């Protein structure tokens, strides 16, 4: 499992497409009103939308992903880093920020490789072997 994260608009999906030879049909884009994930897709993009949907649905995003762990082995998971700004006034957005963080902490430990994308360029945060 490869995890790619970075701030908003940093070109995370374009980076993945270029580096891992991905086309649009390989990508499942998470929606912020849907907690289901299509694990037949090679790439799970916009994981921050999934974590927001989990907040709304009262689910723990990390546990939902952990339940799918066996199906995530060959996946590329892409998530926005929303951890470094001002604490949101809105309670759901506050909960989302924390939910996303817990989820990313778990994913970072589980992943074989973790890449941070900055202005379209990648930095290997973690690479096994």
* Contact residues for another protein, defined by CB under 8 A: 6-11, 80-86, 88, 93-94, 96-97, 100, 118-123
39, 71 Cβ separation under 8 angstroms? yes
Task: Pick between residue 39 and residue 83 the one whose CB is nearest to another protein.
Answer: 83
Q: How far is the CB of 67 from another protein (least distance, A)?
A: 25
Gap between the terminal Cα atoms of the chain: 14
What three-state secondary structure class fits 19?
helix
Task: Pick between residue 75 and residue 97 the one whose CB is nearest to another protein.
Answer: 97
Q: How far is CA 91 from CA 94, 95, 101, 111, in A?
A: 5, 6, 16, 30
Task: Pick between residue 35 and residue 49 the one whose CB is nearest to another protein.
Answer: 49
Task: Pick between residue 48 and residue 72 the one whose CB is nearest to another protein.
Answer: 48
Q: How far is the CB of 119 from another protein (least distance, A)?
A: 4
Count CB neighbours of 58 within 10 A.
Answer: 7
Q: Which residue has the tokens 């490869």?
A: 2
Q: How far is the CB of 87 from another protein (least distance, A)?
A: 8
Q: Which residue has the tokens 């990313």?
A: 104
Q: How far is the CB of 41 from another protein (least distance, A)?
A: 25
């Amino acid at each position: 499992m490869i995890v790619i994260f970075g701030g908003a608009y940093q070109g995370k999906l374009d980076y993945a497409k270029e580096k891992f030879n991905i086309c649009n049909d390989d990508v499942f884009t998470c929606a912020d009103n849907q907690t289901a994930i299509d694990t037949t897709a090679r790439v799970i993009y916009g994981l921050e939308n999934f974590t927001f949907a989990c907040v709304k649905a009262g689910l723990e995003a990390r546990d939902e992903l952990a339940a799918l762990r066996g199906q995530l082995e060959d996946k590329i998971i892409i998530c926005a880093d929303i951890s470094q700004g001002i604490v949101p006034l809105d309670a759901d957005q506050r909960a989302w920020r924390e939910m996303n963080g817990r989820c990313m902490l778990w994913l970072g430990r589980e992943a074989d490789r973790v890449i941070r994308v900055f202005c379209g360029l990648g930095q290997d945060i973690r690479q096994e072997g």
